[in-house]
């Protein structure tokens, strides 16, 4: 069994986000700039959400990592 050496956990860069992949036309000014994403498998899928105090709230499950502008279908 092989494991990734790198964990894909980092804040979301909204400048590189492709919001229309989620049906969002435009980023809201209320959108928290401290949104995070992380991978949960060896594939490209990501989970996106926000920390509020000590809790992480999942907002999007992105199995094909489509939030990024650099995503391309196989």
pLDDT tens-place string over residues 24-48: 656 666 555 678 888 877 677 888 8
Query: 7 vs 11, which has greater pLDDT?
Result: 11
Between 71 and 63, the higher pLDDT residue: 63
Tell me, what's the pLDDT at 73? 56
DSSP 45: -
Q: Is 50 exceeded by the pLDDT of residue 1?
A: no
Q: Is the pLDDT of residue 55 over 70?
A: yes
> How far separated are the first and last CA of the chain, in Å rounded?
25
Antiparallel, parallel or unpaired: β 35-38 and 9-11: antiparallel
- Look at the chain and report how many structural domains it folds into: 1
Mean residue pLDDT across the chain: 72
Instruction: Find tokens 């489509």 and name the residue.
Output: 66
Range of the domain at 68: 1-25+32-74
Name residue, tokens 């999007």: 60
């Amino acid at each position: 069994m092989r494991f990734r050496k790198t964990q894909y956990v980092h804040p979301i860069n909204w400048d590189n986000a492709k919001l229309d992949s989620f049906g969002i036309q435009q980023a809201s000014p209320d959108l928290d700039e401290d949104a995070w994403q992380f991978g949960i498998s060896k594939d490209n899928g990501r989970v996106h959400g926000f920390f509020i105090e000590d809790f992480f709230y999942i907002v999007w499950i992105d199995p094909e990592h489509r939030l990024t502008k650099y995503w391309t279908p196989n």
